[in-house]
Amino acid sequence: MQSAGIQACIIPTTDPHIGEYTPDRWKTREWISGFTGSAGTVVITMDKAGLWTDSRYFLQAEEQLKGSGIDLFKTGLTETPSFSEWIASELRAEDCVGIEGEVFAASESKTLIEFFTGKDLKVRTDFAPYDSLWENRPPIPVNRAFVLPERFTGKSCHEKIEEVLTEIKKHQADMTILAALDAIAWLFNIRGNDVEYNPVCLSYAVVSEKETVLFISSEKLTQEVSEYLQLQGVVTADYGKITDYIQKIPAGTKVLTAPSKINYKLYSILSEKCEIKETTVHPADSLKSIKNETEIAGIRNAMLKDGVAMVKLLIDLEKAIENGETITELDIEKKILKYHSDREFYFGESFHPIVGYGAHGAIVHYEATPESNATIQRNGVLLIDTGAQYFDGTTDITRTISTGEVSETIKRDYTHVLKGHIQLASAVFPAGTVGMQLDALARLALWKSGQNFLHGTGHGVGCFLNVHEGPQSIRMNHNPAALAPGMITSNEPGLYLAGEYGIRIENLLLTVKAKTTDFGDFYAFETLTLCPIDIRLIDRSLLSPEETDWLNAYHQKVYDQLAPLLSKEEAGWLEKRTRAIIST
């Protein structure tokens, strides 16, 4: 920093593809801080260092930063300054902030540059000393890609390219650049192994009337993939050639980009000669988020499999507890992997399983380790959040389970979380509604008790793709992407009491058309996930008759759909756990 004349540098979590999860090569923030969470930013000045991360990771970050000299800044709390504000308060006028433009979204870089310039600070966007400092930095991954057949995707790559071209024209553009790995995997009907839990392959793409080019290393291209792409009219080029290609785009070309989905380095090169047409949401992301009939049929099938796996797991767990056997968080994790992997079209997990007993459940993104591994006791609650990647769909489910005696307080808290879950699941809303408008439905029962959860209520979910995808979300923050029929979004209110317990109930929702009236189109949610919600944890006096009806109808559906796939004994257990409850 000193030799570069820089007084503060910012190290984000993301990579040149602005991914939420990144290949090991770009885990610079983890390498420098030791903090392994999926979200966080490190800032280093000449005499201080800080990590900014959100409530999901407060406890984990505190643990992992011990002795590092890096201070924890808890984002989302009103008293916490943003890292930019903090830098501005630490530096003096004319000081310089260094970032590596290649791993920052163009939108974020522009915001940072504007902010720091307003504070009389300079910004350098080519500060990237990590290659020489980072011993044994992992190489760029070169795992093989494979084609996802149209029986799963429902559309050919060629058809999707045509749809993207139509959207590009609507934006008065000639061309678009894609850097987001999930959008590229969707568009080309290919999948890969380059990012843990995300079946994507490192690549860029250019789509224009003239040609569609996929930038991908030749090591990844099996004969099958090459032939498919050729058949679909796609040209391939080496991964590293994207910069050259962009530099050679004729001056004045109108290029559509979503600045939040392209890195600042590519964006800067583009903006030198091209006319950039900016969009908040890239059409490829919008198109990807609206699942077609084949994809919806696939996810329904994946839900049946996931439901069966969960039922088998819950039965094993209950038996072990009843029989007084020792069963730990890691034992449960292993069982989940087994039951998932026994199912048809299994590819892997969709994220690292979270199995948190008691106080561990309050650590929102807890990962059990041999050191932390807790044995399940006959009291309190256990939080299990897992998901799988099947060729026909991506799943994500959380259940909070009674392991024996529970207090009335836990029941009250659990029921408040459940009320929120049901209120959101049963919402009806007009076309154009965005997630922020519905988010409070999932929180109101908690808010009335002076409680809250600080993570989002819902994220988009891909089809055999990333378990977190845009453009839609259901959050306390504003996101202009409207909820549209065909989108899959999670519904996961929770409550976390540090040192005590954590509660979360998560199902996936499909947005569907509800009705059309003089007031326009109205949409609703269909709950896709099939797994009992623990009725032993409910304080029935807190549920309204409508909420009780929703739960009973949901449980009837879970039973009807899963029972035929279970043994008689398993079906008997499910019958008991999905029995209708009576409103008090």
User: Which residue type sits at 348?
Assistant: G
Choice from 432, 536, 572, 581 touching its own copies (CB under 8 A): 432
Q: Give the H or E element holding residue 334.
A: helix 329-341
Let me know how long the chain is.
Answer: 584
269 or 476: CB nearest its own copies = 476
Answer yes or no whether residue 235 interacts with its own copies by CB under 8 A. no
| DSSP-assigned beta bridge partners for residue 388 | 349
Name residue, tokens 């380095």: 265
Q: Least distance from C-beta 448 to its own copies, angstroms? A: 5
By CB under 8 A, the residues from 80 to 139 that bind its own copies are: 118
Choice from 223, 519, 582, 584 touching its own copies (CB under 8 A): 519
Q: Least distance from C-beta 166 to its own copies, angstroms? A: 18
Name the residue among 265, 295, 336, 286 with its Cα closest to residue 14.
Answer: 265
CB 21 within 8 A of CB 352: no
Choice from 149, 240, 404, 480 touching its own copies (CB under 8 A): 480
Instruction: Candidates 41-49, 359-367, 450-458, 574-582: pick the segment binding its own copies (CB under 8 A).
Output: 450-458
In this structure, the strands spanning 501-504 and 469-474 are unpaired
Name residue, tokens 């993207």: 164
The dihedral built from the CA positions of residue 197, 203, 207 and 210, taken in this order, carries a sign that is negative
Q: Tell me the two tokens of residue 9.
A: 């540098």
Answer yes or no whether residue 512 interacts with its own copies by CB under 8 A. no
Euclidean distance between CA atoms 434 and 431, whole angstroms:
9
Choice from 226, 280, 292, 451 touching its own copies (CB under 8 A): 451
CB 459 within 8 A of CB 172: no
Answer yes or no whether residue 304 interacts with its own copies by CB under 8 A. no
Euclidean distance between CA atoms 395 and 226, whole angstroms:
29
How many Cβ atoms are within 10 Å of 570's Cβ, its own excluded? 17
Euclidean distance between CA atoms 263 and 122, whole angstroms:
20
In this structure, the strands spanning 8-11 and 96-98 are parallel
Q: Least distance from C-beta 480 to its own copies, angstroms? A: 8
Answer yes or no whether residue 374 interacts with its own copies by CB under 8 A. no
Q: Dihedral of the CA atoms 437, 441, 442, 447 (nearest 10)?
A: 110
Contacts of 217 (CB under 8 A, 6+ apart): 140, 142, 202, 238, 239, 240
Instruction: Candidates 201-209, 308-316, 393-401, 449-457: pick the segment binding its own copies (CB under 8 A).
Output: 449-457
**What does the buried/exposed string (b/e) look like for 271-301 if buried means 16 or more CB atoms within 10 Å of the residue's CB?**
eeebebbebebbbbbbbbbebeebbbebbbb
Residue 331 phi, psi dihedral angles, 5° rounding:
-60, -45
Instruction: Candidates 174-182, 364-372, 472-480, 527-535: pick the segment binding its own copies (CB under 8 A).
Output: 472-480
Helix 264-273 vs helix 106-118: crossing angle, to nearest 10: 80
297 or 476: CB nearest its own copies = 476
Instruction: Candidates 16-24, 59-67, 138-146, 445-453: pick the segment binding its own copies (CB under 8 A).
Output: 445-453
Instruction: Candidates 162-170, 205-213, 330-338, 444-452: pick the segment binding its own copies (CB under 8 A).
Output: 444-452
85 or 344: CB nearest its own copies = 85
Q: Least distance from C-beta 428 to its own copies, angstroms? A: 5
Choice from 427, 467, 531, 535 touching its own copies (CB under 8 A): 427
Q: Least distance from C-beta 407 to its own copies, angstroms? A: 17
Euclidean distance between CA atoms 271 and 266, whole angstroms:
9
Site string for its own copies, 43-82 (x = CB under 8 A): ----------------------------------xx----
Euclidean distance between CA atoms 256 and 167, whole angstroms:
10
Answer yes or no whether residue 542 interacts with its own copies by CB under 8 A. no
Q: Least distance from C-beta 517 to its own copies, angstroms? A: 4
Answer yes or no whether residue 450 interacts with its own copies by CB under 8 A. yes
Instruction: Candidates 67-75, 203-211, 261-269, 515-523: pick the segment binding its own copies (CB under 8 A).
Output: 515-523
Q: Least distance from C-beta 174 to its own copies, angstroms? A: 15
Q: Can you point out the beta strands (E) in 338-437?
A: 346-349, 354-357, 381-386, 388-390, 393-394, 397-402, 428-430
Q: Considering CB under 8 A, how many residues would be counted as binding its own copies?
A: 35
216 or 427: CB nearest its own copies = 427
How many Cβ atoms are within 10 Å of 469's Cβ, its own excluded? 26
Answer yes or no whether residue 238 interacts with its own copies by CB under 8 A. no
Answer yes or no whether residue 525 interacts with its own copies by CB under 8 A. no
Q: Least distance from C-beta 310 to its own copies, angstroms? A: 30
CB 309 within 8 A of CB 333: no
147 or 445: CB nearest its own copies = 445
Choice from 441, 474, 530, 531 touching its own copies (CB under 8 A): 441
Choice from 447, 536, 541, 581 touching its own copies (CB under 8 A): 447
Q: Which residues bind its own copies (CB under 8 A)?
A: 77-78, 118, 277, 427-434, 436-441, 444, 447-448, 450-452, 476, 478, 480, 514-517, 519-520, 522, 544
